[in-house]
Copies of this chain bind each other. A is one copy, B any other.
């Protein structure tokens, strides 16, 4: 087998893994963990249930794949550029946009968040992501104050926490779909002194 076809082989296999993860993701978004059935996942991809177990030995392993996928999808929103206040504004709006465009991601994150209370491996990854988010946010706020883009009196740590709290609440159904999410964010922007109007 040539190197090229070996690479092809690898990617074909990896593709199947991702198809399965994507299908599982969709199932969770639609029916919750409560309604996640390995057979439905396999059916959605069009493979036998045994094939699913060939890639993911247990349901738990499949969920692990979904966790990774969701986290990666979410983290990709955190890449910032521009002045601190612009970055902050962009971040708030891109998270909001992400939740509006892909409500499934919000649902799955919510399901994972709840599950993190019962599943150590999920909890660990969740905490890591949250800490990274928190310190990125804090650094952004601090730089904003230093560069004069944000109000002086602002306590970067507490505000970072509050901002994350508000963004997190966007994943919860009552706020996700309604225009209230936008409303809450705009008020936050006002208090932060960014975003105009």
Contacts and interface: CB of A to CB of B under 8 A. Distances in A.
Interface of A: 30-35, 107, 110-111, 113-118, 123, 126-127, 130, 155, 157-159, 161-162, 165-166, 168-170, 172-175, 180-181, 183-184, 186-188, 190-191
6 contacts: A32-B115, A110-B110, A114-B172, A162-B184, A166-B166, A191-B191
Contact of A187 (B130, B161, B168, B187): B161
A9 to B, nearest CB: 15
A32 B114 contact: yes
Contacts of A116: 173-174
A150 B158 CA distance: 21
Nearest to A33: B34
Contact of A130 (B113, B118, B174): B174
A123 B174 CA distance: 9
A111 B32 CA distance: 10
A1 to B, nearest CB: 15
Given A32-B115, A110-B114, A111-B114, A175 B184 contact: no
Contacts of A168: 169, 172, 174-175
A155 to B, nearest CB: 7
B161 A183 contact: yes
A140 B161 CA distance: 25
B173 A126 contact: yes
Contacts of A162: 166, 183-184, 187-188
Nearest to A153: B190
Contacts of A115: 32, 34
Contact of A31 (B118, B126, B187): B118
